[in-house]
Structure 1
Amino acid sequence: MLIAIRVFALMLILLLGGLWAAAWMGRAPGEGVADAFLRRIGSFVGADMPAPSAGGVQLPQGMALGGPFTLVDQTGRTVTQADFAGRTLLVYFGFTYCPDVCPTELGTIAAAIDLMEEQGEQVTPVLVTIDPERDTPEALADYVTRFHPRMQGLTGTPEQVAAAARSFRVFYAKVERPEMNGYLMDHSSFIYLVGPDGLVRTLFRPESTPEAIAQSVRAHLRAS
């Protein structure tokens, strides 16, 4: 019995190793090895596991992100998802006091839109703050224009922001330490491609390149 278990374990290791090697060699442009590996497993067992689009992560079937929200834009006007109906968005949840990650990701969004040239006019970049205590409409108005002239900044009450974050499954939490002057916000750092219906089409991991994002957005615009 022990020998049989060892033989089975060895065969399983060899099988998974083979699938991993096939995933590494046969992954699509912009596709991560882990995503390609899952796709290979799905093909092997006969499951329908859609491959992620180039540059982005395809959402599992049956999983929906995004939806209705009520927030306040950088002009102080109350807006809902209806104000963005029919428009393609690149959405990021961050905050203006962020020292590194947020400026990097917002710069990536802006660069991706610029790379798309005329097609980029069809895409609206959006920053949703997770720090409404400090990120007033006035603060957002000054901040978002540093990245792109068409970027929208959204804030609101803590409850409104929390509701929007939940619909996108965004994690965030205030970080305070004795040695800190003020506080920072810990948060997840995905970029969301939102379709004209207000639902997320795909998402991009932190440090995705502008080229990969632009490629994926172009594909979605062609398909819509």
Structure 2
Amino acid sequence: MMTLLARVLALLLMAAPTLALAEEPLNVQVPDVPLVDQHGRQVRLWSDLVRGQTVAINFIFTRCKTICSPMTATLARVQKELGAGGPPVRFISITLDVNNDTPERLGQFAQRFSPGPGWSFLTGEPDKVKEALVALGGYTPDKEAHRPLVLVGNATAGRWLRVDGLGSASSILDAIREVRAASAPPAELDVDSPSARDASAARYFTNTELVDQHGKTHRFYEDLIRGRKVLINFAFTSCKGVCSPMTKHLAEVQRKLGGRVGKDITMITLSVDPTNDSPESLARFTKKFGVGPGWYFLTGSRENISLVLKKLGGYTDDPNAHSSTLLIGDAATGMWVKAPAMSFVDNLVYAVEHLNDPR
């Protein structure tokens, strides 16, 4: 006979599938080929430019009449927005037209975008350039038909993402922050050990900084998720739909869980409207529903909030179309389920308390 726990979790899992925590990584092997930059200096792609760095790489040619200029302009905005804060990011643009693109022509092309230090525009011997392009996924026999690809990577962690170079600067910034936050676990670490699971969870959730309703800054994984069970939902304060009844409903869940919230259980509500949801407006919103300690309503910069929302499947361009899903999880065990946030209170409480029970 099916136990009560099994029936509850079966109902929750039928409502929505298990949360996937893994992303398929790109397997990128950067060759250490000799190339020449826009200043005429010979550099080695791996050992001089990529090794130990976070990098953003695109593929252009100077006579391009379509996507190369707008794509390079977007990368220039990204470099400017990154500024001098945080670990450096190296920018690399590799020509698709070695027969025409001399270092001098690449230098003239680069000047139009006022690139800062740490941006190399590369050409070289045709076979060496082709080897680099093939390895990085930028090669095409017809340069006029090349894709607007930006390859973003953390060479130390081996974490690589492909981003649309004609998209927004913020999407490239999100990818840079994601790979920059990655860190490879020690090679000798047992992948099934608690330390390995913790390292994997830290890489996935990231320590992106967000701000709660009291104006306090938190690192998302280390301060709010590590070592606890968590309940995570999505809302915004000017919502005219589900947000108020959902928050009222989850406040009842908090009361049922009692003093464990704030100790071994954390509740998190992520704003899907960080432009308008300040800590002050979040504080006023929480006061209406009697939100207690241990429940964090989080906002922050659009880039930071967007990164976390995308990790959790809660990102939306339209706040009014946001998800009303509740995520229930334990990063220590890797057990995660989704449920409608308006499920019966007792079912949600039971699912939290018995999340790690044997099935």
TM-score higher than 0.5:
yes
Mapped to 1, the partners of 2:21 and 2:274 lie a distance apart of: 33
In structure 1, the partner of 2:34 is none
In structure 2, the partner of 1:180 is none
Matched, 1:194 2:332: no
Mapped to 2, the partners of 1:173 and 1:200 lie a distance apart of: 29
Mapped to 1, the partners of 2:288 and 2:10 lie a distance apart of: 31
Matched, 1:159 2:303: yes
Equivalent residues, number: 169
Mapped to 2, the partners of 1:131 and 1:200 lie a distance apart of: 28
Tell me if the contact between 1:131 and 1:185 (Cα under 8 Å) persists in the aligned partners: no
Tell me: higher relative CO, structure 1 or 2? Use CA pairs within 8 A at least 6 residues apart. Answer: 1
- In 2 relative to 1, CA 199–129 (structure 1 residues): closer, same or farther, beyond 3 Å? farther
Give the alignment partner of residue 7 of structure 2, picking from 28, 46, 54: 28
Deviation at 1:124, TM superposition (A): 2.3
Tell me if the contact between 2:12 and 2:339 (Cα under 8 Å) persists in the aligned partners: no
Question: 1:30-49 alignment to 2 at 5 Å?
Answer: 31-32=10-11, 35=14
Matched, 1:67 2:205: yes
Tell me if the contact between 1:56 and 1:216 (Cα under 8 Å) persists in the aligned partners: no
In structure 2, the partner of 1:15 is none
Identity over the aligned pairs, expressed in percent? 21
Tell me if the contact between 1:191 and 1:203 (Cα under 8 Å) persists in the aligned partners: yes
Give the alignment partner of residue 115 of structure 1, picking from 256, 268, 272: 256
Give the alignment partner of residue 292 of structure 2, picking from 149, 169, 173: 149
Point out the more displaced range, 115-124 or 86-95. Answer: 115-124
What are the superposed Cα offsets for residues 76-129 of structure 1, whole Å, 9 maximum, x if unpaired?
Answer: 232112112222221111101112311222222221222233545632222110
Task: In structure 2, give the amino acid aligned to 1:105.
Answer: M
- In 2 relative to 1, CA 198–189 (structure 1 residues): closer, same or farther, beyond 3 Å? farther
Mapped to 1, the partners of 2:267 and 2:21 lie a distance apart of: 26
Task: In structure 1, give the amino acid aligned to 2:338.
Answer: L
- In 2 relative to 1, CA 29–138 (structure 1 residues): closer, same or farther, beyond 3 Å? closer
In structure 1, the partner of 2:277 is 135
Matched, 1:98 2:239: yes
Q: What is the TM-score of this pair, normalised by structure 2?
A: 0.41
Task: In structure 2, give the amino acid aligned to 1:109.
Answer: L
Which is greater in Rg? 2
Q: Give the CA RMSD over aligned residues.
A: 3.2
Aligned residue for 2:321, secondary structure, equals strand
